[in-house]
Amino acid sequence: MSEVHGRCEARFSAVRDAFEENFRERGELGAAVSVTVGGKSVVDLWGGWADAGTRPWQRDTLVNVWSTSKGPTALCAHILADRGLLDLDAPVAVYWPEFAAAGKEGVLVRHLLSHRAGLAGLREPHSLEQLYDWELTTKRLAATEPWWEPGTVSGYHALTFGFLVGEVVRRVSGLLPGAFLRREVTGPLGIDFTLGLPREDYGRAAELVHPQTVGPGEQAAAFGRMPPVAVAALTNPQTGVAAAGTAAWRSAEIPAANGHGTARAVAALYGIFAGRGRYGTHRILSPEAAERVRTGQGACRDLVLGAGFARDTEIALGLWLGGANHSYGPNPRAFGHDGFGGSCGLADPEAGVSLGYVMNRMGPRIADDPRKTALVDAVYRALRGDGPSRPGRGGARAGSGLMSADPPEPTSRVV
């Protein structure tokens, strides 16, 4: 049993119980969880190993959180919109003229944020080295033809989301989203989160470890069942644990997938949404702008991830709504984002709750990893004043967003 460190208010002891159960029963290796209620920290725990078993996870250990990065990236766009510098209902080409090519002159900024732009993946082969080239990747996205009629349905833009939203941020502000986030949010507020990872922080970074649960044959079969748009979104280029540990990945800016931070930092960033735009005494977004973030764009069976969900899902303006799947607790209007392998950021403005969960042992699910689900369930049990968790509680939630008998997920997925 890995030793758990940190603090947890007595009222939220169920969260500590669930966190310890993750190590004991759900294969956790190294992880951290942080919860705020009304802007106050009530849980801040960490434990386990930052590598395969020799380096203890510390209070300031960072880890690549994959698509949990999408929330902070979306925040950049919403800050610009709140200042009147970006119109979410304007065509993208107003800010990025080259984007109008190949029939995309009618694609709106809100379509980028809600994964409805039809650009879930590039059609031409795109290598990892090319992905690290911002100018090349955005040039190819501007030139490519949509996979479907933009605005009609969502198709998860696993990697392209960050380049699309990020290029609009750059065109409007003059800064890439990583620099914009640092200047406007994380720097002034002291939030330990970056898009990419500065070399001086390499020593604090946890090593990602993937469970060997999906064999090559199963992975090939899973890819074979995907429609072409899903293959493009999830495998062009191939990413994964090996890539994420390299200096090239860390030094690049991939705003949809290479954010690095602590659980405390994730809870703080999603806490801006939970606090209706406020972080402590700082106003980051107006209440109206913070509410706009979770404006639903229509529930549907997502063209990329749909087969992995038991029900239709709904993406708001940059984040996923909990909806009937209750992926972010009992409030269907709570919202957030899961990351490949299990990480999560959650915002529930009605309850005033934010949660950040980060880990280094990767799981194979698209979303709603059992470790995350256990922690979210425990938070809301504590808020309701329920008794302590029962042994083994907190696996796949009945009625959760993922079917219990999912096909194996390829290890290269970035979610």
The structural domains of the chain, ordered by start, are: 1-415 (3.40.710.10)
Stretch among 62-76, 169-183, 310-324, 344-358 having the lowest mean pLDDT: 310-324
Residue 409 banded pLDDT, cuts 50, 70, 90: very low
CA angle 365, 368, 370 (to 5 degrees): 85
Q: Provide mean pLDDT across the span 121-132.
A: 98
* Total-model pTM: 0.92
- pLDDT at residue 398 is higher than 50: no
| Percent residues over pLDDT 90 in the chain | 84
Please tell me the total number of residues recorded for the chain in this structure: 415
What is the tens place of the pLDDT at every residue in 10-62? 999 999 999 999 999 999 999 999 999 999 999 999 999 999 999 999 999 99
In 28-114, where does DSSP find H-type helix?
70-82, 109-113
CA atoms within 13 A on the CB side of 81: 24
Q: For residues 102 and 140, is the Cβ–Cβ distance under 8 A?
A: no
Question: How many Å apart are CA 403 and CA 401, to the nearest integer?
Answer: 7
Q: Phi first, then psi: what are they for 386, rounded to 5°?
A: -70, 165
Query: 4-8 and 30-37: which strand pairing?
Result: unpaired
What is the tens place of the pLDDT at every residue in 357-387? 999 999 987 789 999 999 999 999 999 998 6
Q: Phi first, then psi: what are they for 329, rounded to 5°?
A: 100, -175
Burial of 80 (0-12, 13-18, 19+ CB in 10 A): buried
Write the DSSP string, 238-276: --SHHHHTSHHHHHS--TTTBEEE-HHHHHHHHHHHHTT
Q: What is the pLDDT of residue 388?
A: 57
Burial of 124 (0-12, 13-18, 19+ CB in 10 A): exposed
What is the tens place of the pLDDT at every residue in 156-191? 999 999 999 999 999 999 999 999 999 999 999 999
Question: How many Å apart are CA 144 and CA 232, to the nearest integer?
Answer: 13
- CA distances (Å), 365 to each of 117, 229, 305, 375, in order? 25, 19, 11, 16
What is the tens place of the pLDDT at every residue in 225-260? 789 999 999 999 999 999 999 999 999 999 999 999
- pLDDT at residue 222 is higher than 70: no
As annotated, the active-site residues are 67
- CA distances (Å), 349 to each of 20, 37, 38, 291, in order? 27, 10, 9, 9
